[in-house]
Amino acid sequence: MGPVTTVYVFNGPNLNLLGTRKPEVYGTATLASVEELCRATAAGHDLELDFRQTNHEGDLVEAIHEAGAAVKRGEALGAVINAGAWTHTSLALHDAIEGAELPVVEVHISNVHAREAVRHHSYLSPVAAGIVVGFGVDGYALAIDGLVRKLRPVRSA
Ligand code: DQA
């Protein structure tokens, strides 16, 4: 077995309320169950999961820096990020991802393009390796799979 590789899953503001917040939009799964889904998906790829949620933008900026450094050390693959409303407001997160050179898959539980116009623009999309929107919380698993398929070199048997 090779060295342990981590995949990060970062969640922004209000995602701690998953399960009770607008279930008609975000479903009834809790963030704890999303973490379990991500852990099982990561394990299926022999990856360790580092799963976090914060309501403080600077904490997410610093987590992105930390993850970028881990990728450069060869200890991590990249990150799945649901930045919540910061998606639509935060040039700082755009600059953090770009500056840290962190491979990111942007995920949204809801189809943001079918919602209010303010949710159609993303500061993260131009610096994302890929984007998964509108698949509910299953999008987190799809995003991890996509990150692996895009980034992990194919191992010979
Ligand atoms: C979200 C979509 C955002 O517009 C919203 O602010 C969220 C959740 C999603 O997962 O669908 O907080 O990122």
Would you kindly state where each structural domain of the chain is located, as residue ranges?
6-151
Other beta carbons less than 10 A from residue 28's beta carbon = 11
Q: Is it true that domain 6-151 has CATH number 3.40.50.9100?
A: yes
* 26 counts as catalytic: yes
pLDDT at 157: 57
pLDDT at 36: 98
| Closest atom of ligand 1 relative to the 14 alpha carbon | 12
| Closest atom of ligand 1 relative to the 25 alpha carbon | 11
Mutation test residue for ligand 1: of 108, 116, 123, the one with most atoms within 8 Å of CB: 108
pLDDT at 153: 67
CA of 108 to the centre of ligand 1 (A): 6
Enter the tokens of residue 27: 């479903």
Residue nearest to atom 13 of ligand 1 (CA): 84
The catalytically annotated residue of 26, 94, 123, 140 is 26
Q: Which own/partner contact pairs does 147-152 have at CB distance under 8 Å and 24+ positions apart?
A: 147/7, 147/77, 147/78, 147/79, 147/80, 147/103, 147/105, 148/7, 148/45, 148/47, 148/77, 150/103, 151/77, 151/78, 151/103, 152/45, 152/77
* 56 counts as catalytic: no
For residue 132 and ligand 1, the question of a CB distance below 6 A is answered with no
Q: Report the interhelical angle of 31-44 vs 138-151 (nearest 10°).
A: 30
Tens of pLDDT along the chain (157 residues)? 567 799 999 999 999 999 999 999 898 999 999 999 999 999 999 999 999 999 999 999 999 999 999 999 999 999 999 999 999 999 999 999 999 999 999 999 999 999 999 999 999 999 999 999 999 999 999 999 999 999 976 665 5
For residue 139 and ligand 1, the question of a CB distance below 6 A is answered with no
pLDDT at 152: 79
